[in-house]
Chain A
Amino acid sequence: MIISSAKPFEEVLELLKDEDDIFIIGCSACAAKLHVGGEPEVLNMRQRLEEAGKNVVGWCIPSAACSVASFDSLVEKNPAIKDAKTVLVMACGSGVSIVSQIVELAVYPSNNTESLGGRSQGEIIPELCAMCGDCKVYYFGGICPKGQCPKQLLNGPCGGSIEGKCEVDPEKDCVWELIYTRLKKIGRLDLLEKVWTCEEITG
């Protein structure tokens, strides 16, 4: 899923300071799962904007903001959008971009988009995939160093880790420790022998 987080409300208000008659578009996909664009968040946003003196003409929550087909499909969900002068999208950057393509109004984001990650066992895990367009994650036991190593090293760790922790973020395990543990567990340490040459690097 796309990991995004909510901008501080004050920032959203600043973005909208010269705007009014706002229509809010949420997203039932990633943003809803991350509680930054589902129904409770959209309703809360509406209330706070109204408390701040803004007129909110309506809202809707498409199944995914990044795949809204047309303006008409938004009208079908809530015709109030026809009265709007401004749209606030509570989704990731893709959602904001798609809505901007189909709506002839100023479109503002309420979230910051951070990475391609996931959520498992109640925990949000950012930066799982670098979206390099050439998936080799199998070689690393399903733990992608392009996504998870700040230096995106494919041939093994840098010399910068201390006590198995990442040079860049000492709170995090060096991804190469995790890759080793995982490949050992599945009996495929041989995959580590592969030398990644320049040709095999894209993106």
Chain B
Amino acid sequence: MSLTFKDKLESDNFLITAEISPPKGTDLSEALADAELIRDQVDALNVTDNQRAVMRMSPLAVSRALLDAGHEIIMQLTCRDRNRLALQSELLGAYAMGIRNICVMTGDYTTKGDHPGARPVYDMDSVQLLDIVRRMREGYDLAGNVIDNPPVFTVGAVTNTDPSKLMQMMKLRKKAKTGLDFIQTQAVYNTEQFQTFMDRTEDIEVPIIAGLIPLKSAKMARFMNQNVPGINVPEEIIQRIENAERPVDEGLAICAETARELRKLCRGIHIMPIGKHDKTTRILEMAGIRKNI
């Protein structure tokens, strides 16, 4: 019998997770095809929840479809669109549908997305949502009512990795204290800075899975530096891509090098390409961390 994501977290395995985006529409074939590209290459697939506040299909529906196709799933759940009633009912529904891993986060603000007039909720924050997950595991809802067949999730949270952001580091500690099985991070480009982040979080005994976004051009790197919170692509990496004959290939090489470095520093990597996973297997091969070899 194959190991679950939880089993693997408890092992010494180097973990590989990857992000799958729900469709803008009702056709699941693209999401399923994207997951198929990396079948058996990754330990679990994160299904995003209206990422960047752009409306897409419910992550619960997509997660179930991917489960049916035989994938291990981490369903993401944000605090932006649901109050405490909806968060709890979503958790019950997810568990009943077979989802065993979730990753919680605050969620990008509504004005950043495609429905800027939507009323943001944020009834709970990510620390409190972790608290809800813990209580439900113990058999109670937030109001103290007993829950039948309590959902026992393996639960993760996210973080940026700039160790100089003291308030974000403080919040990560609160998340760990509330109850966490894994941490997935924003994309890492500066492994030196990431090393410092790992040193400063040594007291947090939770497996850390470092994010990776392959760069496609110097322009993309500069854009992300200015517009994507928590991302810091060092100038030397931007120069490498700028001077490369094939910027996309150079981006993949950089991503593979970073992955190889990260293997020494943390428990896994989380690949979040812009677009599809058509290059993900190649990155893993180049990094020498392909599964099943």
Question: A156 to B170, Cβ gap below 8 A?
Answer: yes
B166 proximal to A (CB < 8 A): yes
A162 proximal to B (CB < 8 A): yes
Number of interface residues of A (CB under 8 A): 26
> Nearest A residue to B228 by beta-carbon distance?
A162
B85 proximal to A (CB < 8 A): no
Contact of A155 among B111, B142, B159, B174 (CB under 8 A): B174
> Nearest A residue to B166 by beta-carbon distance?
A180
A186 proximal to B (CB < 8 A): no
Determine chain A's interface SS by DSSP, over half rule: loop
Set of chain B residues within 8 Å of A151, measured between Cβ atoms: 79, 106, 109, 120, 122, 125
| Binary B-proximity of A128-155 (CB < 8 A = 1, otherwise 0) | 0000000000000000000000111111
Known: A167-B229, A198-B131. Is A150-B109 also a contact (CB below 8 A)? yes
Tell me which of A22-30, A54-62, A189-197 binds B: A189-197
| Binary B-proximity of A159-170 (CB < 8 A = 1, otherwise 0) | 111100001100
Question: A196 to B127, Cβ gap below 8 A?
Answer: yes
Question: B160 to A159, Cβ gap below 8 A?
Answer: yes
Known: A198-B132, A201-B124, A201-B128. Is A160-B142 also a contact (CB below 8 A)? no
A118 proximal to B (CB < 8 A): no
Contact of B109 among A157, A160, A197 (CB under 8 A): A160
Set of chain B residues within 8 Å of A197, measured between Cβ atoms: 128, 131
Give complex CA distance A180, B174 in Å.
16
Question: Looking at A151, A158, A179, A201, which has the most chain B CB atoms within 10 Å of its CB?
Answer: A158
Question: B125 to A155, Cβ gap below 8 A?
Answer: yes
Set of chain A residues within 8 Å of B174, measured between Cβ atoms: 155-156, 195
B230 proximal to A (CB < 8 A): yes
Contact of B127 among A159, A161, A195 (CB under 8 A): A195
> Nearest B residue to A184 by beta-carbon distance?
B166
| A22 → B minimal CB distance (Å) | 34
B186 proximal to A (CB < 8 A): yes
Number of interface residues of B (CB under 8 A): 35
Set of chain B residues within 8 Å of A72, measured between Cβ atoms: none
Set of chain A residues within 8 Å of B142, measured between Cβ atoms: 198
Question: B158 to A159, Cβ gap below 8 A?
Answer: yes
Question: A198 to B128, Cβ gap below 8 A?
Answer: yes
| B117 → A minimal CB distance (Å) | 14
Known: A159-B186, A195-B178, A198-B84. Is A167-B171 also a contact (CB below 8 A)? no
Give complex CA distance A176, B108 in Å.
17
Set of chain B residues within 8 Å of A161, measured between Cβ atoms: 229
Question: Looking at A150, A160, A201, which has the most chain B CB atoms within 10 Å of its CB?
Answer: A160
Give complex CA distance A151, B53 in Å.
14
> Nearest B residue to A166 by beta-carbon distance?
B109
| B134 → A minimal CB distance (Å) | 10
| B226 → A minimal CB distance (Å) | 8
Give complex CA distance A21, B23 in Å.
59
Give complex CA distance A160, B120 in Å.
15
Question: B120 to A150, Cβ gap below 8 A?
Answer: yes
| B174 → A minimal CB distance (Å) | 5
Question: A159 to B159, Cβ gap below 8 A?
Answer: yes
Question: A198 to B108, Cβ gap below 8 A?
Answer: no
B293 proximal to A (CB < 8 A): no
| B119 → A minimal CB distance (Å) | 12
Give complex CA distance A154, B79 in Å.
13
Contact of A177 among B84, B126, B131, B167 (CB under 8 A): B167
Known: A161-B229, A167-B108. Is A198-B124 also a contact (CB below 8 A)? yes
Question: A155 to B122, Cβ gap below 8 A?
Answer: no
Set of chain B residues within 8 Å of A155, measured between Cβ atoms: 125-128, 171, 174
List CB contacts (< 8 Å) of A22-49 with chain B: none
| B82 → A minimal CB distance (Å) | 14
Give complex CA distance A203, B101 in Å.
31
Set of chain B residues within 8 Å of A152, measured between Cβ atoms: 122
Q: 5 shortest A-B CB distances, which residue pairs?
A: A156-B171, A155-B127, A158-B106, A151-B122, A176-B167
Taking Cβ atoms with an 8 Å cutoff, the residues of A that contact B are 150-162, 167-168, 176-177, 179-180, 192-193, 195-198, 201
Taking Cβ atoms with an 8 Å cutoff, the residues of B that contact A are 79, 84, 105-106, 108-109, 111-112, 120, 122-128, 131-132, 142, 158-160, 166-168, 170-171, 174, 177-178, 186, 226-227, 229-230
Given contacts A167-B112, A198-B142, 17 further A-B contacts (CB under 8 A): A150-B109, A151-B109, A151-B125, A154-B125, A155-B125, A155-B126, A155-B128, A155-B174, A159-B158, A159-B159, A162-B227, A168-B109, A168-B112, A179-B167, A195-B178, A198-B84, A201-B123
